[in-house]
Amino acid sequence: MKIAVIPGDGIGREVMPAALAVLDAFDLDMEQIPLEIGYGKWERTGCALTDEDLNIIKDCDCVLFGAITTPPDPNYKSVLLRLRKELDLYANIRPFSPLAKIKLPCNKKVFDLVIVRENTEGMYSGVEELHEDAAYTTRVITRTGSERIAESACAIAKKRKKQITIVHKANVLKSDSFFRDVCKGVATRNKISYNEMLVDAMAYDLVLRPEKYDVLVTTNLFGDILSDVAAAISGGLGLCPSANIGNRYALFEPIHGSAPDIAGKGIANPIASILSVKMMLQWMGHEKEAVVLARAVDSVIAKGIVTPDLEGSYSTMDVSEAITKIINVP
Ligand code: NAD
Ligand code: IPM
Ligand code: MN
């Protein structure tokens, strides 16, 4: 397997070495191709992701991604969005369950849910116009795009409780009644039961009753927002991994960003990135190693070896080294 390794910007550059140290502890036969891509490169060279970078990435099997800075500047095109589109990574899979011993913001019961987020269209279609007195973003929802994300959700549901929740805003948006109806058809065809929730009510219920949900399927921007809500109730962004899956390629990354407020201090929580390595190992078929990694993470948290976001005083690399040690000597 050939992995393109993109640390990116800010804490991406700190959590990536921590994650790679854990991956290297398994001594698997993998080639790592390091690439400098992101806002830092754009500032230095005027280009955040070159065509040559893209060719190198397309010659790899998958990507391990840290985090990038995407400034709110209409002239800057997000590298991550370009990668998701170019590699056709249409399913963004974001699992959430509080890890053992994590102090949650409120007294939640145990929960275990997956957000299956459409990753190539919707509000992120790129069909936009910026004029002097108005700006337009076209929310593109296609049958093909909706069918394939619904199929991904059903495939995950088949291994779980055989049910999905379709999250939309069909009371207002025609594009979402279309999305909902396509999802219902796919669920019926797959013998998966479904219910539906309006996205605003979903955000509310996710905070109050996360244990009610199993597999949520939704459009691009709603999935983005709901995943940060789910991260908050799971113990924080520093814990939550994701997999961007297509038919040919995959990209694994924490759901958090480059966190400029803590970058450079060596205190970023590396667990989201380390659990993204776990998702990569599962995608590659290394199930046994994925289980060992998850247990090592649980054990390190249980010992209180955690970064300041979890009220600990350990550094990014302290956490990584503690996890690596357990993998080496279980
Ligand atoms: P963020 O996710 O970077 O940070 C939000 C908050 O969570 C901050 O207080 C940060 O300190 C904290 N946090 C995030 N990850 C953490 C970790 N591993 N350990 C401890 N604390 C952590 O979101 P933001 O501040 O809105 O965005 C910063 C930049 O990142 C922006 O340019 C944004 O566009 C970009 N971004 C990139 C990605 C990505 O690369 N996938 C995702 C989200 C945001
Ligand atoms: C995420 C991020 C990205 C998104 C940004 C950085 C383009 O917030 O992966 O959740 O909106 O998808
Ligand atoms: Mn996000």
Give the pLDDT confidence of 219-271 residue by residue, as tens digits: 999 999 999 999 999 999 999 999 999 999 999 999 999 999 999 999 999 99
Give the pLDDT confidence of 170-217 residue by residue, as tens digits: 999 999 999 999 999 999 999 999 999 999 999 999 999 999 999 999
Asked whether the predicted pLDDT for residue 330 surpasses 90, the reply is no
> How many whole angstroms from 329 Cα to the centroid of ligand 3?
36
Q: Which residues are catalytic?
A: 124, 169, 200, 224, 228
- The CA-based angle 210-204-308, given to 5 degrees, is 65
Give the pLDDT confidence of 12-31 residue by residue, as tens digits: 999 999 999 999 999 999 99
Question: Residue 126: CB partners within 8 Å, gap ≥ 6?
Answer: 81, 85
Q: At 197, is the secondary structure helix, strand, or coil?
A: strand
- Sign for the CA dihedral angle at 198, 201, 205, 206 comes to positive
The verdict on the CB of residue 224 being under 6 Å from ligand 2 is yes
Residue 123, Cβ neighbours under 10 Å: how many? 18
By mean pLDDT, which of 55-64, 92-101, 299-308 is the weakest?
Answer: 92-101
Ligand 1 atom with minimal separation from the 253 CA: 41
- Give pLDDT, residue 161: 98
Residue in 200, 28, 177, 205 with CA at minimum distance from that of residue 108: 205
> How many whole angstroms from 63 Cα to the centroid of ligand 3?
18
Strands 113-118 and 62-67: unpaired
C-alpha distances (whole Å) from 198 to each of 12, 79, 96, 165, 166 are: 34, 30, 20, 10, 8
The verdict on the CB of residue 94 being under 6 Å from ligand 1 is no
What's the chain's Rg over C-alpha atoms? 19
> How many whole angstroms from 124 Cα to the centroid of ligand 2?
10
d(CA 16, CA 21): 9
Asked whether the predicted pLDDT for residue 318 surpasses 80, the reply is yes
Output the pTM of the full model: 0.97
- Give pLDDT, residue 308: 97
Report the interhelical angle of 271-284 vs 12-24 (nearest 10°): 50
The verdict on the CB of residue 293 being under 6 Å from ligand 1 is no
C-alpha distances (whole Å) from 309 to each of 101, 183, 303 are: 14, 37, 16
d(CA 290, CA 219): 29
Among protein residues, the one whose CA lies closest to atom 11 of ligand 2 = 224
The verdict on the CB of residue 81 being under 6 Å from ligand 2 is yes
Q: Are 9 and 37 in contact (CB under 8 A)?
A: no
- Give pLDDT, residue 105: 76
